Amino acid sequence: MTIWDNIYKNYQKGGEAWATLSEEIHPLFKQFLSQSNFELKHVLDIGCGTGKYLKILQAGGFKTDGIDSSETAVEMTKKILSNDSIIICVNMFELDIPKDKYDLVISISTIHHGTKEQVQNLINRIYEAIVENGKIFITVPDFESSKKWNTFKDHEEIAEGTFAPLSGPEKGLPHSFFTKDETQKLFSKFRDVNLELDEIGRWVAQASK
Ligand SMILES: C[S@@+](CC[C@H](N)C(=O)[O-])C[C@H]1O[C@@H](n2cnc3c(N)ncnc32)[C@H](O)[C@@H]1O
């Protein structure tokens, strides 16, 4: 059972709506969707959580694939989507992503849960997974902003730029944080990269292949 699996199970029993559980759909995502064109309409959500992003995309005509390392999240997502969705419980860093398959890959508040090297490798594989002109909408936490996060006062550095909380619901879970320059480097293979810092301190990356 993963750390987030416990968070979802606790939430289902009436416990805390931790982190993104209390979040609405990101306003920049709504804007991104309304301003983008997709030919294939085939999306992969990495760290789909409760499935709220895939639900909106399915309503917009997308074929929806999702992965999450929490069994509970996978069950929650499957429940709100129609049966033709492919939702799998797997560790994103071990996921074998088919090449040239998607015209949209999204990942909100998820891909930083590993070392910086793992995150860069995953982003490189996302690049391979999307077709020409395909798009991404991905968030990573900002290094400076993270210092102000109440939830992250007490932590240890487990690799360069990667920290694990010593207490709280995410105790022990790796979190990598990125400066603007580092975030630009993460997405340097992509074109038309637009980076915006959101109000809680995440870099929101929108880009095309
Ligand atoms: C903060 S939640 C975000 C969920 C969703 N994207 C949202 O915005 O509502 C982080 C998610 O990442 C998933 N996760 C954490 N580490 C993962 C990994 N190594 N592979 C796949 N999913 C992972 C957790 O299970 C959790 O659902």
pLDDT tens-place string over residues 14-70: 878 778 878 899 999 999 999 999 999 999 999 999 999 999 999 999 999 999 999
Which of 9-18, 113-122, 151-160 has maximum average pLDDT?
113-122
Give me the residue label for tokens 């400076």. 144
| 12 neighbors 74 (Cβ within 8 angstroms) | no
User: For residue 110, how far is its CA from the centre of ligand 1 (angstroms)?
Assistant: 5
| Amino acid occupying residue 134 | G
According to the model, what pLDDT value does residue 1 have?
83
The average pLDDT across 151-175 equals 88
Instruction: Give the lowest-confidence range in 21-25, 83-87, 159-163, 199-203.
Output: 21-25
Closest among 96, 14, 7, 88 to 47, alpha carbons compared: 88
According to the model, what pLDDT value does residue 167 have?
87
Distant-in-sequence, close-in-space partners of 93: CB < 8 Å, separation ≥ 6? 114, 118, 121, 122
- Residue 68 Cβ inside 6 Å of ligand 1? The answer reads yes
- Residue 20 Cβ inside 6 Å of ligand 1? The answer reads yes
Of all protein residues, whose CA lies closest to atom 16 belonging to ligand 1?
113
The CA-atom distances, in angstroms, between 103 and each of 1, 33, 61, 202 are 32, 12, 13, 23
Can you tell me which atom of ligand 1 is nearest the CA of 95?
Answer: 20
CA distance 170 to 204: 22
Burial of 206 (0-12, 13-18, 19+ CB in 10 A): buried
Give the pLDDT band of residue 127 (cuts 50, 70, 90). Answer: very high
What domains appear along the chain, each with residue ranges and CATH number? 37-144+177-208 (3.40.50.150)
User: For residue 128, how far is its CA from the centre of ligand 1 (angstroms)?
Assistant: 21
If one residue of 1, 30, 53, 68 were mutated to test the ligand 1 pocket, choosing by the most ligand atoms within 8 A of its CB, it would be: 68
pLDDT 10s digits, 90-121: 999 999 999 999 999 999 999 999 999 999 99
- Residue 130 Cβ inside 6 Å of ligand 1? The answer reads no
- Residue 73 Cβ inside 6 Å of ligand 1? The answer reads yes
